[in-house]
Amino acid sequence: MGLIIGTWNYPLMLTLSPLIAAISGGNTAVIKPSEMAAATADVLARRVPEYLDRGAFSVVLGAAPETTSLLEQQWDHIFFTGGTTVAKIVMTAAAKTLTPVVLELGGKSPAIVHSSADLRVAARRIAHGRWTNAGQTCTAPDYVLVAKDVAGPFLKQLQESVIQFYGEQPQTSADYCRIINLRHFDRLIGLLASGDIYHGGQYDRSDRYIAPTVLVNVSPESPVMQEEIFGPILPILQVGDVQEAIDFVNTRTSPLGLYVFTEDHAVAEKILESTESGDAAVNDCTLQPIIHDLPFGGVGNSGMGKYHGEWGFRTYTNARGILYHSTRLDLDVRYPPYDRNQSLRSVVAHLRA
């Protein structure tokens, strides 16, 4: 039996996708939805028993105490989606019983914009990846490393894309989301001072609204560059060349995603070969999880284990190697005492027979 601990930012997809993988492998499961997405959790608690065998699948509601109690039980597998702090608690609990885990986490996923990139397309796709769900997406580009010689035109294209997507007043856009709660809202507002606001910056606490915001003149040591943002703020940093971008990425923990925008195949390959990330994309971002032929998951601080499609089936099954061996040939050479001449005679005798 497996335990599936869901998260709040895509509370239906990121809870049921592991469940689908578990079912495909013939497993039973207990599902613990995130209490932060209370309405979705209530729906899951009502609907799962209606459509799935109650003896094989159940939903447990609650917060930290209930999750702690669940982790104290014996499981065959634990699947957790969330942040690194809670992931360490989950892994510590699993270690007591040597229970295998899959940890789907996050991290600061970089987007690298090379001077050869199609700047309009790069800006549109980065804007889409960053500000969908108000940036509350684990695979969203967390910051941009843009070549200095195209930084100005790229920023202009990025600003135009935001306006095209959400209008001059994003707060009135039906396509723009809100921050999950006030705790995260206040955390994000504190990050706005990490650089100069190139675009956006407006916010409304009563509405949990933060405008799509672009920061420039950001120091790598600033608060916004020390943690996963998980919100609608995008820092833009300039780099002199490809190697500087590679070095910047490699001095930080391995991200969940890495995105390269370039029309030069050699540049893309150099960056991919010189860096490490859970997943990667060239000339796009954030979309790789919906390609079910691709394994999805992190590496290092961004998680462990892969799922989606066949990879989910592999996660929830045990590949047991089984050998069937004939008894027709049983050479003495295999067994002691080991004497070279005796072994050769044994082989010859069997061959003659």
35, 72, 104, 228: the catalytic one is 104
Residue 189 Rama label (left phi>0; alpha psi -120 to 50; beta)? alpha
Largest Cα–Cα distance of the chain, in whole Å?
91
Strands (E), the chain: 2-5, 29-32, 57-59, 77-81, 101-104, 110-113, 143-147, 196-199, 203-204, 209-210, 213-216, 233-239, 257-261, 279-282, 303-304
Instruction: Tell me the CA end-to-end span of the chain in Å, nearest whole number.
Output: 53
Q: Mention every residue, 6+ apart, whose C-beta is less than 8 A from residue 328.
A: none
- Does the annotation count 138 as an active-site position? yes
In the block, which residue shows the tokens 């390959």?
Answer: 269
CB 35 within 8 A of CB 62: yes
Exposure of 93 by Cβ count < 10 A (0-12 exposed, 13-18 middle, 19+ buried)?
Answer: buried
**Omega before residue 337 within 30° of 0, cis:** yes
35, 50, 138, 276: the catalytic one is 138
User: Looking at the annotation, which residues are catalytic?
Assistant: 104, 138
